[in-house]
Amino acid sequence: MSAPSRASGWGLRSAALIYLAVLLLIPVAAVFWRTFEHGISEPLDAVTSPDGMHAFWLTILCVGIAVPLNTAFGVLTALVLVRQDFRGKAALNAAIDLPFAISPVVIGLALFLVYAPRDSWFGGWLTDNGIEVIFSAPGMVLATIFVSLPFVVREVMPVLQEIGTDQEEAAETLGASPWQTFRKVTLPAIRWGLAYGVVLATARALGEFGAVSVVSGHRNGETETLPIFVQRQFDNFNAAGAYAAGLVLAILALTVLFSMNLLQRRSARAVDVGDDDEGAPTTPSVFVPQPIEKEA
Amino acid sequence: MAIAVKNVTKHFGDFVALDDVSIDVPDGGLTALLGPSGSGKSTLLRVIAGLEQPDTGQVLISGEDNTATRVQDRNVGFVFQHYAAFKHMTVFDNIAFGLRIRGEGNGTIRERVRKLIELVHLQGFERRFPNQLSGGQRQRMALARALAVEPRVLLLDEPFGALDAKVRQELRTWLRRLHDDVHVTTIFVTHDQEEAMDVAEQIIVMNDGKVEQSGGPRDLYENPASEFVMSFVGPANRLGTAWVRPHDVEVRHEPNGQTTEAMIDRIVHLGFEVRVELTLTDGEQFSVQLTRDEVDQLELAEGQIVFVRPRATRVFSADGAAGSPAAEPEVA
């Protein structure tokens, strides 16, 4: 590499790092720092309090329902959008992005209009049947599903487009049923796009505040997820509690991110093992002359 | 007949991909479906495989009506132009795929895959992934994968289309020999008439969703049934209403009453063969194929005026069909 390009390479790298540091790393590090500023007992008490524990488990519940549902329907929707042609496809495709386009608070209000106990479309019927949606866990789960819906679809679609249908058709000619084809061919082919979509959806579901907050009704210890709990601690001047709960959220998100990374690296190593076979250095996609003139 | 297609029609929207197509493929043979892009040859292959459903008509494999049979149950081997390798599986697992789906035991699978790997000369590559293979190796792997399930018929869709010229030539020869060993009824699709003539025993020429003609390579070349076959299978010149092959033309320096005047635009040396490009007095372009020795003997040069006479011409009726050799050699 020549000197000027090396210098400009350094310049670009520094700019990117400084940007990341100022806008992302320093604020996150500050949360870690402030959490343990006055020792471990105060933050520990905050997160292990009944309200804190309830918020933790409610968050896990919301994520635990929203992410698997959005993963399954996300893959299905991506398959339909990429592999099928039908009227209204463009409209469906655009609708997937609604959660990106609409402010979370508005999403919360929209759910309110549909499910609220009074003056809503289904609320009355639901209340008559003893089902509580708004100001209760089901509403919060619905809000979480809404905001984290597009990620899997949007990450899987381009991968499906790229792999095309050849591999699936090959599997079918070899006798594989549609389900076998999906499990043995399609799913492995889209796995990285899918994994990334799941990570993004999980991060969004964990951190969602606006939409969930509107439908939660803020009943302490009953309809609080971790982000709402953080907000309340903050409003009550319990900074240590807020930071501690915030830290728990950050750790949850990072755990998901790292486990996905680990999975990815392990499978990349599996490919490397094939590469190092017999220690022979190989260059992919270079034609290796074979004795094809020889009698078969 | 190993494969019979009867009166198959297939539309994609308004586009007629196959228009009342019927073909017969003999048992154990190697047949080429030849045609330009959009002629319906790949669609026909996919209909035989069950990857496309015909609008009307029947597909018979080994005498059974398979028109409504699912692709999984047809037991046909299919090889795709772009290999369709399972990228996340090793060469071994790719080839073993169909056997595993059929629930074969591990011992049987190992033995069968070993034999197939030998057959396609991929020994030592068992644990490689497809992206660590060349295009030719991937296509041989795909062929082994298709043969693993002992298909009733083998269908190849432009199998060498994505490879460079030299590898394509090698694989052609190799496919020919492989077929002599394996003897499975094979149909392959190609747009390359030379490839079709090189490999196939029977060629089915397609154009505009219809079968133009079928027959042996020599038969098609010498007795084309239509203008399309005349011009698509092998080189051809048009002389007014008649057609002539470039090697069926005599070139001389003096007129003899049967000749017509032409000017040499370009002399192209192709090794042993030389292509001489001419313009007739009426402005029509024309090409003649001579040997190097003939060109040397005649001392031809670009810009020269010469006299040409077709030795054999062929005239087709107005609708382009039903060709018959002209009784007398004639000049346009």
Token pair of A253 as six digits: 């998100």
Report the residue count for chain A. 296
Lowest-confidence range among B14-23, B40-49, B109-118, B157-166?
B157-166
- What is the β-pairing status of strands B153-157 and B185-190? parallel
Q: Would you state the pLDDT for residue B329?
A: 44
Average pLDDT, chain B: 90
Token pair of A250 as six digits: 């950050």
Are B128 and B141 a contacting pair, CB within 8 Å? no
Provide the pLDDT confidence category of residue A45 given band limits of 50, 70 and 90: confident
Is the confidence at residue A282, as pLDDT, over 60? Answer: no
Nearest to B40 by CA among B67, B24, B16: B16
Query: How distant is the Cα of A256 from the closest Cα of chain B, in angstroms?
Result: 24
Average pLDDT, chain A: 84
List pLDDT tens digits, range B91-133: 999 999 999 999 999 999 999 999 999 999 999 999 999 999 9
Q: Would you state the pLDDT for residue A221?
A: 81
Provide the pLDDT confidence category of residue A151 given band limits of 50, 70 and 90: very high
Q: Would you state the pLDDT for residue B108?
A: 94
Query: How distant is the Cα of B73 from the closest Cα of chain A, in angstroms?
Result: 6
Residue B151 carries which side chain, given as an amino acid letter? P
ipTM for this model: 0.86
Q: Would you state the pLDDT for residue B330?
A: 42
How many percent of chain B have pLDDT more than 90?
70
B84 to A273: CB separation less than 8 angstroms, yes or no: no
Q: Would you state the pLDDT for residue B328?
A: 44
Residue of higher predicted confidence among A8 and A227: A227
Cα end-to-end distance, chain B, whole Å: 44
Average pLDDT over residues A81-90: 93
Query: How distant is the Cα of A184 from the closest Cα of chain B, in angstroms?
Result: 9
Nearest by CB to residue B98, choosing from A174, A285, A293, is A174
| Cα nearest neighbour of B146 on chain A | A174
Cα end-to-end distance, chain A, whole Å: 49
Kindly provide the residue ranges of all beta strands, DSSP E only, lying in chain B, ordered along the sequence.
3-12, 15-25, 30-34, 56-61, 64-65, 76-79, 153-157, 185-190, 202-207, 210-215, 237-239, 242-244, 249-252, 260-270, 273-280, 285-291, 305-310, 314-315, 324-325
Residue of higher predicted confidence among A161 and B328: A161
Residue of higher predicted confidence among B165 and A288: B165
Angle between helices A239-275 and A50-83 (to 10 degrees): 40
The count of other CB atoms within 10 Å of the CB of residue B267 is 15
Is the confidence at residue A272, as pLDDT, over 50? Answer: no
B49 to A177: CB separation less than 8 angstroms, yes or no: no
* Angle (nearest 5°) at CA B104 between B101 and B109: 100
Cα–Cα distances (Å) from A104 to A216, A253, B141, B167, B171, in that order, read 13, 20, 51, 58, 59
Average pLDDT over residues B143-159: 94
Provide the pLDDT confidence category of residue B325 given band limits of 50, 70 and 90: low
The rounded distance, in Å, linking the Cα atoms of A195 and A156 is 9
Q: Which residues of A touch B177 (CB under 8 A)?
A: 295-296
Is the confidence at residue A119, as pLDDT, over 90? Answer: no
Which of the residues B72, B141, B187 would you substitute to probe the A interface, choosing the one with the greatest number of A C-beta atoms within 10 Å? B72
Q: What is the pTM assigned to this prediction?
A: 0.81
Residue whose token pair is 């042996």: B216
Lowest-confidence range among A24-28, A212-216, B214-218?
A24-28
Cα–Cα distances (Å) from B227 to B198, B234, B235, B236, B269, in that order, read 22, 12, 12, 10, 28
The rounded distance, in Å, linking the Cα atoms of B22 and B206 is 11
Q: Identify which of A8-17, B162-171, B213-222, B255-264 has the greatest average pLDDT.
A: B213-222
Q: Which residues of B touch A184 (CB under 8 A)?
A: 97
Q: Which residues of B touch A270 (CB under 8 A)?
A: none
Average pLDDT over residues B151-159: 94
B121 to A291: CB separation less than 8 angstroms, yes or no: yes
Q: Would you state the pLDDT for residue B164?
A: 87
Q: Would you state the pLDDT for residue B318?
A: 62
How many percent of chain A have pLDDT more than 70?
89
The rounded distance, in Å, linking the Cα atoms of A120 and B249 is 89
Q: Would you state the pLDDT for residue A141?
A: 95
3-state secondary structure of A63: helix
Q: What is the largest CA-CA distance in chain A?
A: 85
The rounded distance, in Å, linking the Cα atoms of A174 and B137 is 20
Provide the pLDDT confidence category of residue B327 given band limits of 50, 70 and 90: very low
List pLDDT tens digits, range A215-234: 998 888 888 999 999 999 88
Residue of higher predicted confidence among A295 and B267: B267
B174 to A175: CB separation less than 8 angstroms, yes or no: no
The rounded distance, in Å, linking the Cα atoms of B217 and B197 is 5
Average pLDDT over residues B134-146: 94
| Cα nearest neighbour of A271 on chain B | B129
